[in-house]
Amino acid sequence: MIMHGDAPPKLQLPFDLAGLDASPIGTGRLVLRPIRAQDADDIHAYQRLPEVVAYLPWPLLDREASHEHTELRTKQRTLATDGDRVALAIVLPGEPSVGGGGEGRVIGDLTFILTSAAHAQVAVGWVLHPDFQGHGYAREAATALLDLAAGLGAHRIAATVDAANKQSLVLCERLGMRKEATFHHDRYGQTGWRDTVIYAVTDAEWLGRRTSGAAADTTPPGAH
């Protein structure tokens, strides 16, 4: 139960992916569901691309490493204590999967991290195969993830983005997240010292955007 009044809002924990096995999230064009071991070839199709991992905390992964990474993520099923994370596959129905499965192709994935149970804080992340970028799919999937987070009682939902990752910065802006901080040279990457931008939105802000319809708009920009 979400508590209000003197006590701060509480996340509804533990959150387990079992419910999404049974009832995946339909977003209109996409289906979001827990990652499965048989998704590994679809996932490898983007984890092997330098432009995809450039701003991610993973190295380039060969097929075997992608299979191991996917296997690991299939076991991350619950958010209960700080640092727990779960991943959701972003499935495009009707698109043939690399591995030959019939329900559609995993064109990307979402990460959902419990950063502080005591303070009802979570973090989110996203990745899409480049062939499927530029269609609003990331925004559509992220909108559903923020809905899920707010529905669980997350008070603040944050995203951590490399300052050079223009597409992800734009996505945060389009979602209506607030740019809260830039950390200068807080990480050392392959190309040297990196800057990190923190975006966030509170549940009340997010629900306000959803009520007004702003965040759900998947009309291509310029088409209004």
Ligand X SMILES: CC(C)(COP(=O)(O)OP(=O)(O)OC[C@H]1O[C@@H](n2cnc3c(N)ncnc32)[C@H](O)[C@@H]1OP(=O)(O)O)[C@@H](O)C(=O)NCCC(=O)NCCS
Q: Does 30 bind ligand X (CB under 6 A)?
A: no
Q: Does 126 bind ligand X (CB under 6 A)?
A: yes
Q: Does 137 bind ligand X (CB under 6 A)?
A: yes
Amino acid at 17: L
Helix (H) or strand (E) holding 165: none
Report the nearest approach of ligand X to the CB of residue 139 (Å): 4
Cα–Cα distance for residue pair 204/19, rounded to 1 Å = 25
Q: Does 110 bind ligand X (CB under 6 A)?
A: no
Region of 35-43, 84-92, 132-140, 204-212 interacting with ligand X (CB under 6 A): 132-140
| Beta bridge pairs of residue 31 | 26, 91
DSSP label at residue 178: E
Q: Does 69 bind ligand X (CB under 6 A)?
A: no
Report the nearest approach of ligand X to the CB of residue 22 (Å): 27
Q: How many CA atoms lie within 13 A of 152 on its CB side?
A: 26
Q: How many CB atoms lie within 10 A of CB 138?
A: 25
| Beta bridge pairs of residue 111 | 87, 125
**Contact with ligand X (CB under 6 A) among 59, 134, 151, 189:** 134
- Residues at the site binding ligand X, with contacts judged by CB under 6 A: 52, 55-56, 125-128, 133-139, 161, 165, 167-168, 171, 174, 218-221
